[in-house]
Amino acid sequence: MATTITTLFFFFILFIAALAVKEVEQQTSLEQPIISRIAFGSCANQSAPQPIWKSIIDFNPQVFIWLGDNIYGDIRRPYKLFGKERTIGPWKNVPRFVPASETEMQLKYHIAKNNSGYSLLRKKSQVIGTWDDHDYGLNDAGKEFSDKIVNQKLMLDFLDEPQDSPRRKQAGVYASYTFGPKGKQVKVILLDTRYHRDPLSSDGSILGDSQWTWLKKELNGPKTEITIIGSSIQVLSNLSATTGPLFYMESWGRFPRERDRLFKLIASSKRNGVFFISGDVHFGEIARYDCANATGYPLYDITSSGLTQAVEKVIPEPLAFLVEVAAWLTPTTMRLISPNCRYRSCTYGMVLSEKSWFLVLSLVEI
């Protein structure tokens, strides 16, 4: 992990997954079981068909991580350029997104949890997660959003967080988990990029003071072979730097001081084998930041595409190729490129670490 990470493509996944399964069976131990298959995903519209659960279950992950937009809780108004209520254009007079009531949020979570594929996954795998804006309750919302306290409870109910869990008493849904026996430990740190986040163009804080204090303790805590930091929004991508002011996406790149603080904290913790996973943008991507001067190894950010959402679907089918053209023309800062995805979005990807017992499958739209 420390020096090289090889990117491979989807076709290899089943083969390597099979090897991993075998290895786990051989290394049965009295301690905690080895966790070698972790799947993650984001952006699942509870009202849309979710056939992807079948592929996820076939991969047989021991742990599944939600990275946000686990439901689309808020209400999206249609695009309207003219009329009394205008949702786009410089003359826009009403917001495009509005929060749903508590009852509506509950109903949406109910639909998501009742999905037959997801229900089966919950029986077979441990499911953990964090949230992003649409399950937090409002598109692009941050610390100012007042429904956050109620919505935190609903989100933790969805994840079956025990009633007496400290996570229900803190401000925000951040959490950490350590899996596996000594010598083969994986730590998963899930950040809350919503609850304490300052306004988007402020270059202020994403995590807020209490979460920074917690994160510092987590990173400086007992060493593990692998540390996965889950962030709903992309950590490494600098896409907004090249697409703005035409359009911006949410990312750590828009909070440069906060991101720098994160890199410095990882470096000063001297932790090995740290990488990021993220979601949010509706396309898959693997980005790399060569900050070997600080950490001794490059940092990777593996972004899952949407479980039901895809950038190509934003415009009608006959014109969908335009998204691919745009993706092709967009400078790929920080992105790992393969000849296979030069002309289409690189949605199928996986990372195989040097530690052959460990495998990450980045989830993609099928």
Ligand X SMILES: *[C@@H]1O[C@H](CO)[C@@H](O)[C@H](O)[C@H]1NC(C)=O
Q: Interface with ligand X by CB under 6 A: which residues?
A: 45, 47-48, 72, 76, 110-111, 114, 116, 238, 241, 259, 263-264, 267, 289, 291, 293-294, 333-334
Query: Is residue 177 within a helix (H) or strand (E), and if so which, with residue range?
Result: strand 175-179
Alpha helices in the chain (DSSP H): 13-26, 52-59, 102-114, 116-124, 133-136, 148-158, 208-220, 239-243, 256-269, 292-295, 321-329
CB of 270 to ligand X, least distance (A): 12
Please say which residue, 31 or 260, places its beta carbon nearer to ligand X: 260
CA dist., res. 104 & res. 107, Å (int):
5
| CB-closest chain residue to ligand X | 294
CA dist., res. 301 & res. 279, Å (int):
10
CA dist., res. 251 & res. 242, Å (int):
13
CB of 161 to ligand X, least distance (A): 22
CB of 186 to ligand X, least distance (A): 24
Residue indicated by tokens 């396309």: 283
CA torsion angle 18 306 65 48 (round to 10):
-100
Please say which residue, 2 or 291, places its beta carbon nearer to ligand X: 291
Alpha helices in 165-255 (DSSP H): 208-220, 239-243
Rg (CA), the chain: 20
Please say which residue, 172 or 280, places its beta carbon nearer to ligand X: 280
CB of 69 to ligand X, least distance (A): 9
Please say which residue, 114 or 146, places its beta carbon nearer to ligand X: 114
Strand 299-303 to strand 274-278: parallel, antiparallel, or no bridges (unpaired)?
Answer: parallel
Please say which residue, 334 or 364, places its beta carbon nearer to ligand X: 334
Please say which residue, 183 or 296, places its beta carbon nearer to ligand X: 296
CB of 255 to ligand X, least distance (A): 11
**Cross-sheet strand order for the sheet of 186-190:** 175-179, 186-190, 226-230, 274-278, 299-303, 285-289
CB of 227 to ligand X, least distance (A): 16
CB of 28 to ligand X, least distance (A): 35
Please say which residue, 45 or 211, places its beta carbon nearer to ligand X: 45
